[in-house]
Structure 1
Amino acid sequence: MRRIFAMVVAATVATGAAANETLTIEQARTIIAPLYDALNQPATKDVDALLRKATTDDWMTCSAEGICLTREKLVGAFKARGETIPDLKWEIRDIMISGNQVIVRGEASGTPAKDFMGVAATGKSFKIMSIDIQTIRGGKIAHSYHIEDWAGAVRQLTGH
């Protein structure tokens, strides 16, 4: 957990949280809403259009493992996740603002219909927490750092 916190702090410093672009909660919610809409049942959505609405052309999203993806690569990943978990639901639970950064505590839930992270589909569901740091530039998300508790999802699905 300390490693994750250190990564979040480093991400905040590296992306310039002290920038002059200060947002209200309402402005932040409007900017990030299309990204989170794309996460809800993504197999049924125009994920590309939603991500283009929410993000800059040079947007990158990076995971806790240090894997960074462009918007083009993420569209396929969202669609694949939606095919595996057709009822995937991602809710925004809290939003905090720090300069030009939007910190989101989210909650994902769903029931895999196919093998998921090495676990056969059994009809069991999961509910996990996520933390995202979205850096805003020009009214769009310019960079994202995210962490999700996928290990917790696997534990819930397997009962271990």
Structure 2
Amino acid sequence: MKRIFAASAAIAIATCPAAAEMGPEAARATVAPFYKALNAQFAGDSADLIRQATAADWVSCRGNNLCNSRDEVIAGIAQRLKSVPDLKWEIKDVLVSGNQVTIRGEATGTPAGEFMGAPHSGKSFKVMSIDVHTLEGGKMVRSYHIEDWIGAVRQLTTN
């Protein structure tokens, strides 16, 4: 079994030499504009930062077939930045496998009003995210993501 996996990995690397050469720092630099766009500090530049990091046909998926286009994501992020005016998203860990980059991130913020059904309390949240990005030509072409928004709501509503 190990031999089959190793052979498959070698074939994948041979067919995608640029990805095979990408280390964690290069991967971080490639996706960094996207994560910068998620921060309230850069809300005015958010759309341009997302366009910088993604291909025109990039999709972001929160489920196997629940994907949004780049323009839909830009609109959604703009809304999230309005509802959490101090939102900060940080890259915590980077893992590279071929042309896929997995990011463990952390988001913190204090909603300005009701947030995902939680009444405004003035409390802050801290949640973890896991994103798997497929890169081609130095751009993100597809992303799968999961965030612990239920945990955020729990933090906002418990004493």
TM-score (norm 2): 0.85
Give the gaps of 5 or more residues in structure 1. 1-16
Match of 2:8 in 1: none
CA-CA distance at 1:59 after TM superposition: 0.3
User: 2: CA distance between counterparts of 1:65 and 1:59?
Assistant: 15
Distance across 1 between alignment mates of 2:41 and 2:82: 8
Aligned residue in 1 for 2:69: 70
Q: Which moved more, 1:18-27 or 1:74-83?
A: 18-27
Which residue identity is paired with 1:84? S
**1:107 partner SS:** strand
Residue-by-residue CA offset, 1:78-113 (whole Å, 9 max, x unaligned)? 010011000001010000000000000000110000
Tell me by how many angstroms 1:150 deviates. Answer: 0.3
- Describe the SS at the equivalent of 1:29: helix
SS at match of 1:108: strand
Q: 1:60 offset after TM fit, Å? A: 0.3
How do residues 1-160 of structure 1 correspond to structure 2 at under 5 angstroms? 20=16, 21-22=19-20, 23-41=22-40, 44-64=43-63, 66-159=65-158
Alpha-carbon distance between aligned partners in 1 of 2:109 and 2:82, rounded to the nearest angstrom: 12
Partner SS state of residue 61, structure 2: strand
SS in 2 for 1:104: strand
1:29 is matched by which residue type in structure 2?
R
Runs of 4+ residues deviating >6 angstroms: none
Alpha-carbon distance between aligned partners in 2 of 1:78 and 1:136, rounded to the nearest angstrom: 21
Judging by fraction of residues, say which structure has more helix.
Answer: 2
**Displacement of 1:119 after TM fit?**
1.0
Q: Which secondary structure does the structure 2 equivalent of 1:114 belong to? A: coil
Equivalences, count? 144
Q: Which amino acid aligns with 1:72?
A: D
> Does the 8 Å contact 1:43/1:82 carry over to 2?
no
Contact 1:129 1:148 in 2 (8 A): yes
Structure 1 CA distance for aligned equivalents of residues 153 and 68 of structure 2:
23
Look up the equivalent residue of 2:39 and give its one-letter code: N
TM-score norm. by structure 1 comes to 0.84
2 CA distance for matches of 1:43 and 1:76?
15
